[in-house]
Amino acid sequence: MRSVRPAYREESEPRILGGCGLMGVCDQSGKRMSGELAVRAMASMHDRGNGLGGGFAGYGIYPELPDFFCFHLLYNDEVAKDDTEFYLKKHFKVVIEEPIPTKPVRGIENEPILWRYFLDIPEERLVETQLSAEDYVVHTVMDINTYLDGAFVASSGKNMGAFKGVGFPEEIGEFFRIDEYKGWTWTGHGRFPTNTPGWWGGAHPFALLDYSIVHNGEISSYGINRRYLEMFGYKCSLQTDTEVVTYLFDLMLRRHGLPVEIACKALASPFWKDIDLMPKEQRRLYTALRLVYGSALLNGPFAIVLGMADGMVALNDRIKLRPLVAARHGDVVYVASEESAIREICPHPEESWMPQAGEPVIARVSEKGRRKALTQAKQSAGQRRIAQIHTTAGVT
């Protein structure tokens, strides 16, 4: 049992029950948008949550330090922080450590100590452990979340971060000053927790490396998904079904190198009835997919948005038991639980559609666009200071 105490809010007025709400927006040209967009879309779906969890993930938000792993940490107390920092310093070169900037917002209380670290991995540690940098990070994240009491890694990717806590999403957004960040991809979530109490770490997104997941629904196959992941060294310690989705994507995309479309077809596989009607080669592929990744099948109602370094994927369960709407305007792709949330931030999209069950909506930020955005951001931040940081951290 984790010692993170669930911080339940007093309910001041009767709330109408709804269910989780989620959104995602991605500018495929790499242009960076204010996080306010995500906050506004989530605010419009206020009634889908119950104030026990809200959160956002932004990509491209730390353009000055895009090459370091950025850990967002949630601490119960100073002891947890001291322990974790000892651990981090043992395993990483800590380039920068600082509090995550927040501001007081009515309704947000009992917040944990929020800190972020920009980390570099000493070369000799990788040689010693024979791990890739990414696997090294996964190990340390699992260690902290599993063994360091009262500490929780909210995100651990590069040039991205997850901001989440107990409250309505618009409150959380304001608390974390999301509107002051700019990113090319944003995902957001308002939570209606059922199975796990509303604690800060339990809010969405769930992030590991560059992958982040916001999720509406419940994974009825959690038991076997978890046991499957444990076979590959993932530790599911968060008492929630959503973390398995994040780890499954990490496993299939990063470690197994599957194309994201195909990974989605394993998580929400077509029915045998439909596979049987496919042309031969395709049938062979989909049959193999179900055979090999049967334990990764996410069964039960879900809509998810996966944030990645180079874009965003939205996916529904195989019989579409949770809502999902998509739209596109120019280079920007929008997804949300309700069409009105998209209209809130894009009143007249060029096209809008309801994705089919198990059919992923994929938005990709062009490599060129991302580079351009980074260059621009770096220039405006002032190269001199960046260089100074790099010198300090021993980075060349």
Query: Quick one: which segment of 136-144, 205-213, 303-311, 337-345 binds other proteins (CB under 8 A)?
Result: 337-345
**CB closer to other proteins out of 112 and 127:** 112
In the bound state with other proteins, the residue whose beta carbon lies nearer, of 94 and 127, is 94
* Whole-number Å distance between alpha carbons of 49 and 20: 5
330: which 2 tokens? 């120019």
| Count of residues interacting with other proteins (CB under 8 A) | 105
Angle at 309 between CA 207 and CA 321, to 5 degrees: 60
Among 299, 364, 366, 376, binds other proteins (CB under 8 A): 299
- Strand order, beta sheet including 151-155: 93-99, 113-120, 69-75, 151-155
Our CB check for other proteins shows the closer of 40 and 370 to be 40
Question: Which of 16/127 has CB closer to other proteins?
Answer: 16
Cis peptide before 270 (omega within 30 of 0): no
**Single residue of 195, 375, 379, 383 touching other proteins by CB under 8 A:** 195
DSSP single-letter state for residue 250: I
For residue 119, what are the β-bridge partners? 69, 94
Q: CB of residue 228 vs other proteins: minimum separation in angstroms?
A: 8
Could you check whether the bond before residue 259 is cis, i.e. omega within 30 degrees of 0?
Answer: no
Footprint (CB under 8 A) of other proteins, residues 47-86: 47, 61-62, 64-65
Residues 365-394 that bind other proteins (CB under 8 A): 380-381, 385, 388-389, 392-393
State which of residues 7, 26, 32, 44 lies at the interface with other proteins (CB under 8 A): 44
- Shortest gap between Cβ of 356 and other proteins (angstroms)? 7
Q: Provide the minimum distance between the beta carbon of 378 and other proteins in the complex, in angstroms, as a whole number.
A: 11
20 is catalytic: yes
Residues β-bridged to residue 320? none
> Are 96 and 90 within 8 A, CB to CB?
no
119, two tokens: 């980390």
- Binders of other proteins in range 132-191 (CB under 8 A): 168, 170-171, 174, 176-177, 179-181
Cβ neighbours of residue 60 under 8 Å, at least 6 residues apart?
Answer: 30, 32, 159, 160, 182, 183, 184, 185, 365, 370, 373, 374
146, 282, 375, 383: residue in contact with other proteins (rule CB under 8 A): 282
C-alpha distance from residue 195 to each of 18, 222, 296, 322 (Å)? 15, 12, 21, 17
Residue ranges in 82-121 that form contacts with other proteins under rule CB under 8 A:
94-99, 101-107
For other proteins, which stretch binds (CB under 8 A), given 26-34, 143-151, 250-258, 366-374? 250-258
Please give the positions annotated as active site.
20
